[in-house]
Structure 1
């Protein structure tokens, strides 16, 4: 089997995520785009810190179907949604970090707005800490198709640039390739930790 050139980079990212503890108890899922029709997505129930090439399934972006008959991640529909919405997206990372999960619960609005942090510049297109970065927050839902429709509707009205939070669930982020998706993940996770600590300090 010919290995997609980005799959090795995705495996390295998955092992790094596993070491960080950002996808505990086989949680999380990761993917890369192969082309306009196909993506490669991690198989359900696999520990992300010890994935191999054999643990990724080819999935059709339009139908969410895996020709192999094996079961891809439960959140397959969110990965394929991103690939449909953003032709430039080449990799998607979905993690369950504590900072993202807690912030998504204490933030009651439909956006987490980050402002004043130098590390905002880790996100593509951001050049100043004076700008504001809005990360959408969606209520979690076991109906992934319904959730994908809500996210798609949001994206028709407001920009979806780096990622989104699922309340009480975690972060999904993406980039043009694995390196950019990984940078967005690390940058957002740092920003979430800073924002959470700041809110704790400011609490009366």
Structure 2
């Protein structure tokens, strides 16, 4: 990765210097510290990236996520990235290396128009992929599906579509196989995006999950909702409760009185 970092080191530091807590260079360390408390980014694993117009801010590789500082953030210009050539950064920290998650983050930004992408090593996400891995041959091992759970309402219907999923809708998250090197996951993540155009996340078997949204707020909301659903799914399986159920729609006995 040294070639990728062969840019103007030490220049453009102003890109990560701001007193605004909502500036991407401040938000990424703040979010990663929060994710560390949740057990999502332990041992330097996981990461986060935020796109602000044409600039992409990325957490580095090899940093203790709860100790990350704005000065540790990489910045690249999205329009200036040329396929099949080394990535160039317009701002690099004096230490660390670019994240191997970078091409997967970029896929969320270029293919989904996302404003934020979060990668976690949540144990519940990993356990769900293991449960799917051991599922009977008659069941799909390539997609996590769950319905009739209130937290499903935290997910949009799909990019470009209005509104969120409903209580009775089925949430579907594709699963891709892990690779020895994280950046090699990119083509499989892109294939999953093509196959499931309405999905806002992709599970990586025995690894974790990538979640993206139009902005930081939406990405964080869906990431938290997913982790809730993954944990619930693991406990449901332990209790012998199916993830997909067929229950009747309950109609209200009377309409709300108009104000």
Corresponding pairs, count: 201
For residues 11-30 of structure 1, what are the structure 2 equivalents within 5 Å?
Answer: 11-30=29-48
For residues 47-58 of structure 1, what are the structure 2 equivalents within 5 Å?
Answer: 47-58=64-75
Higher strand share: 1
Q: Is the 8 A contact 1:95 1:171 kept in 2?
A: yes
Q: State which of 201, 204, 228 in structure 2 corresponds to 1:166.
A: 204
Q: Is the 8 A contact 1:66 1:72 kept in 2?
A: no
Q: State which of 114, 129, 147 in structure 2 corresponds to 1:104.
A: 129
* In the alignment, structure 1 residue 128 sits paired with structure 2 residue 166: yes
Q: State which of 108, 119, 123 in structure 2 corresponds to 1:94.
A: 119
What corresponds to 2:108 in structure 1? 82
| Structure index of larger Rg | 2
Q: Is the 8 A contact 2:126 2:208 kept in 1?
A: yes
What corresponds to 1:185 in structure 2? 223
Distance 1:16 1:147, change over 3 A: same
Q: State which of 126, 131, 150 in structure 2 corresponds to 1:118.
A: 150
Give structure 1 stretches of 5+ with no counterpart: none
Q: Deviations over 1:1-28 (max 9, x none)?
A: 1447333333322111111121111111
Higher RCO (C-alpha 8 Å, min separation 6)? 1
Q: RMSD value over aligned CA atoms?
A: 2.0
Structure 1 runs (4+) deviating above 3 angstroms are 67-70, 143-146
User: What TM-score does the superposition give when structure 2 sets the normalisation length?
Assistant: 0.71
User: What TM-score does the superposition give when structure 1 sets the normalisation length?
Assistant: 0.89
Q: Is the 8 A contact 1:59 1:66 kept in 2?
A: yes
* In the alignment, structure 1 residue 7 sits paired with structure 2 residue 25: yes
Q: Report the alpha carbon displacement of residue 156 of structure 1 after superposing the two structures with TM.
A: 2.4
